[in-house]
Amino acid sequence: MRPNVIVSGYMRTGTSMMVGSLIDGGYEAVYDGARYSMLSRVVDDEFYHLNPREIFEFDPSEWNNREFPSQYPGTALKVRYTDINKLATMENGFHFIQMRRDPEEVRQSVEAAFAPKKAEPWLSVSGEYTRRMDCSLGWAQDRDDLLSTTVVDYPLTDPLETFGGLADSGIDIDPHKAAANYDDGLYHFRLSELVVGI
């Protein structure tokens, strides 16, 4: 059986895009489709753009299951960056993909969706975003069942190169199919168009 593929990162960093592309490339993914309907009722559509295909998330109750994600062998799953150290051992191992993005882009995207309920001032603290992502990456790298780690910067500058690299790392996907539906037009809150600090 295939290993699991864990896709992780903070909100608005391309995690949904990555899971969708893995599916296009031939990997099965598991998720709770009801999460998309729930979030679409919560966020501000004028400023926050949900991935139009799916967000590929689990109900939070799944993360409290000590067996998660061992009950979903051979699949791709999206996992919060804060929960990497809580995952059960995966019998066939796992590949770890961490998505990263400019923290100012992330902050403004998240706050536009949820403000004033979800201000994220820590994203403005120099080095804090990188520190948190490095910590989560370290949790993955410390595991005995880890097969590979790949850090992917969003947006993708060369989708075929990105997915070709993932295939070379051992993830069983067709990189051409995985890259085929990548849409740079879904990348909002570009740093070049933002007023930093607002």
Q: Is residue 15 a part of any domain in this protein? A: yes
Full domain range(s) for residue 48: 4-193
Which pLDDT score is estimated for 189? 74
Which amino acid, 144? D
Q: Is residue 73 a part of any domain in this protein? A: yes
More confident residue, 160 or 59: 160
The whole-number average pLDDT for the span 102-125 is 77
Q: Is residue 198 a part of any domain in this protein? A: no
The whole-number average pLDDT for the span 63-71 is 90
Q: Is residue 104 a part of any domain in this protein? A: yes
Q: Could you tell me which of 38, 191, 39, 184 has the C-alpha nearest to residue 109?
A: 191
Q: Is residue 35 a part of any domain in this protein? A: yes
Q: What is the pLDDT of residues 158-191, one digit of tens each?
A: 999 999 999 999 999 999 999 999 998 878 777 7
Q: Which of 20-34, 48-62, 102-116 has the lowest mean pLDDT?
A: 48-62
Question: Could you tell me the pLDDT band of residue 36, with boundaries at 50, 70 and 90?
Answer: very low
Question: Could you tell me the pLDDT band of residue 120, with boundaries at 50, 70 and 90?
Answer: confident
- Cis (ω within 30 of 0) for the bond into 60? no
| Number of domains comprising the chain | 1
Which pLDDT score is estimated for 54? 61
Q: How far is it, in rounded angstroms, from Cα 6 to Cα 18?
A: 10
The whole-number average pLDDT for the span 57-80 is 89
Q: What CATH code is carried by the domain that includes residue 11? A: 3.40.50
Encoded tokens for 83: 């929960």
The whole-number average pLDDT for the span 124-146 is 95
